[in-house]
Chains A and B, each alone.
Chain A
Amino acid sequence: MISQEPLLQVKNLTKLYAPEKGCEAIDFELYPGEVLGIVGESGSGKSTLLNCLSGRLIPTAGEICYRNRDNQWLNLYALSEFERRRLLRTEWGMVHQHARDGLRMGVSAGANIGERLMAVGERHYGDIRARGLQWMQDVELDIHRIDDKPTTYSGGMQQRLQIARNLVTHPRLVFMDEPTGGLDVSVQARLLDLLRNLVTHLDLAVVIVTHDLAVARLLAERLVVMRHGHIVESGLTDQVLDDPQQPYTQLLVSSVLTP
């Protein structure tokens, strides 16, 4: 399943606000179709890292290279903002913790899903709508609510809509920031199930930031554990969670009640 050449290469990535605040000297690779979890406590630098990775925060040092559909390596921050924004709405996706940050709350669900299509030049209303309906079905939303605004949706439904809005252009790489945070446990479980199916089905590469080790275990194949802005441990998810090597990871794992 995992091909030989990586999709994303992160080299010596640094963005510090103060010593140990932010992230420093981060290196890792992500392969096509792979789900990487970034875990750590709040303040560990995982959100800063995600913001740098997803093109929304310029790092102070290091580089992020991405191999695009045409097999060309692009240095993210050497691209013009024009090219970077284009990448963000075509080959990449971003699922925010708060749906409000990722959706246009003032326009219908259908328009939310269709926006990326229209942004890349899709000009057939009927097609855009048909794909909106298809995606609503794929994320298990009631298709009769395609003309309703997200404000009338529940928290779980808003997250599904946000996912549909991102996946409609068939991105290859999706960033997720605590996608199940703030949802009820039962809603969380269904959403995770959906995400897992979509990821496998679409062969998506995902970088998911979470403080919830259960979410990480369920979705991520590989884990990166962060503390004070540094990666303290990384490896296959089961390995890291079942046999943590570093004292900090051991502490982190033991603090979670095992089911």
Chain B
Amino acid sequence: MNAATIRDGYNFAYLDEQTKRMIRRALLKAIAIPGYQVPFGGREMPMPYGWGTGGIQLTAAVIGQDDVLKVIDQGADDTTNAVSIRTFFKDLTGVKTTEKTREATLIQTRHRIPEVPLQADQILIYQVPIPEPLRFIEPSEVETRKMHALEDYGVMHVKLYEDIARYGSIATTYAYPVRVNGRYIMDPSPIPKFDNPKMDRIPALQLFGAGREKRIYAVPPYTEVLSLDFLDHPFEIQRWDETCAICGSDHSFLDEVIMDDQGTRSYICSDTDYCSQRVQQEAVA
């Protein structure tokens, strides 16, 4: 990469080096205490809050000239927000970008974990809207910080109990709370609970950035991530009776698309790279 590929007047990856160092220091702390939310001096970014400013700041802080960047939103590389963020980093770093999960060294994601298992040399960066898993039970930050400090987590199961009492089963389908390394309760960001098992003891480093709420947290490689549940109502992931209309997959997360005004539905892989890799392999075979 050379400086000429970067937009005039801007530093490599938009943020100044001081800010990047500040973020990296917060990241080190986050990695040292898995699942703990580290406050950081989040900056205004040229995208609106809630559109991935936390993830973008993390990516900006860790990206180097040799990195290969993949950006997905809802699992897809071609969704508007993914396109927008990828373009931003292309403009401001000149690094190589890819749609292939296996080729990427950095993957910034909103709402999904790729279907292909991640490797030791990869970093997955999650965009997080609300980092506090206790927020919807206890709105006060003062109180939730104390609850985390004292491991006072009984209320999390109260929520699950209420679900079962009301609906017969746990009714949380995304942003399903997890316990990290046997200690902190963590919000995995609004990924479907389908993806929760993919966080558990994986070789890749997982970083989480919440821009508006100014929090960073992390799951180091090979760290235990368990989804909360009851012994007699164990954690389960979503399943579909249908298969992907493009690649025929019967084990990936499927998006529902509406085909006509009568509401005819079809299902396709949410992970577009996974889907097209399968189609290519099929063609070769």
Size bracket, chain B contacts: 10 to 19
- Determine whether the beta carbon of B154 is less than 8 Å from that of A116: yes
Are A107 and B231 touching (Cβ within 8 A)? no
Q: Does B166 contact A (CB under 8 A)?
A: yes
For B155, the chain A residues whose CB sits under 8 A away are: 115, 119
The yes or no answer to A82 lying at the interface (CB within 8 A) is yes
Q: Is the CB of A111 within 8 A of B152?
A: no
Q: Which residues of A contact B1 (CB under 8 A)?
A: none
Cα A147 to Cα B162 with chains together (Å): 8
Complex-state Cα separation, A120 to B166, whole angstroms: 23
**Which partner residue on chain B sits nearest A149 by CB separation?**
B162
Q: For B164, list chain A residues within 8 Å (CB).
A: 125
Q: Interface residue tally of chain A, by bracket?
A: 20 to 34
- Cross-chain contact B230 with A123 (CB below 8 angstroms): yes
Given that A123-B230, A124-B232, A126-B232 are contacting pairs, would A111 and B165 also be in contact in the complex, using a CB cutoff of 8 Å?
Answer: yes
A134 contacts the other chain (CB 8 A): no
User: B162's contact among A82, A107, A123, A126, by CB below 8 Å, is which?
Assistant: A107
Q: Could you tell me the distance in whole angstroms from the C-beta of B188 to the nearest C-beta in chain A?
A: 20
Interchain CB contact under 8 A, A89 and B154: yes
Which A residues between 83 and 131 are near B, CB-CB below 8 angstroms?
Answer: 85, 89, 104, 107-108, 110-111, 114-116, 118-120, 123-126, 128-129
Residue among B154, B165, B231 making CB contact with A124, cutoff 8 Å: B231
- 8 Å CB contact of B230 from A104, A124, A147: A124
**Could you say which of B150, B153, B154, B166 contacts A147, with CB atoms under 8 Å apart?**
B166
Q: Is B158 an interface residue (CB 8 A)?
A: yes
Residues of A149-185 at the interface with B, using a CB-CB cut-off of 8 Å, are none
CB pair A108–B154 under 8 Å, yes or no, is no
Closest A residue to B155 using CB positions = A115
Instruction: Tell me, in angstroms, the Cα distance from A85 to B151 when the chains sit together.
Output: 10
Say if the beta carbon of B157 comes within 8 Å of chain A: yes
Cα–Cα, bound, A119→B158 (Å):
9
A125 pairs with B152, CB closer than 8 A? no
Kindly list chain B residues whose C-beta atoms are within 8 Å of the C-beta of A146: 165
- Contact call B158/A104, Cβ cutoff below 8 A: yes
| Chain A residues, CB < 8 A from B150 | 81-82, 85
Q: List residues of A (44-87) whose CB comes within 8 Å of B's CBs.
A: 81-82, 85
Q: Does B102 contact A (CB under 8 A)?
A: no
Chain A, Cβ-Cβ closest to B153:
A119
Bound state CA distance, A107 and B164, in angstroms?
Answer: 12
Does the CB pair B152–A114 fall under 8 Å? no
Q: Does B233 contact A (CB under 8 A)?
A: yes
- CB-based contact B158/A107 at 8 Å: yes
Q: Give residues 105-133 of B contacting A (CB, 8 Å).
A: none
**In the complex with contacts A85-B152, A89-B154, A119-B153, A114-B161 CB distance below 8 A:** yes
20 A-B pairs whose Cβ atoms sit less than 8 Å apart in the complex: A81-B150, A82-B149, A82-B150, A85-B150, A111-B161, A114-B158, A114-B161, A115-B155, A115-B158, A118-B158, A118-B161, A119-B154, A119-B157, A120-B154, A123-B230, A124-B231, A124-B232, A125-B161, A125-B231, A125-B233
- Beyond the given pairs A110-B165, A111-B161, A114-B158, 18 more chain A to chain B contacts, judged by CB atoms under 8 angstroms and listed by A's residue number, are A82-B149, A82-B150, A82-B151, A85-B152, A107-B162, A108-B162, A108-B166, A110-B161, A118-B157, A118-B161, A119-B152, A124-B230, A124-B231, A124-B232, A125-B161, A125-B230, A125-B232, A147-B165
Chain A residues in the interface with B (C-beta under 8 A): 81-82, 85, 89, 104, 107-108, 110-111, 114-116, 118-120, 123-126, 128-129, 146-147
Residues of B within 8 A of A (CB): 149-155, 157-158, 161-162, 164-166, 229-233
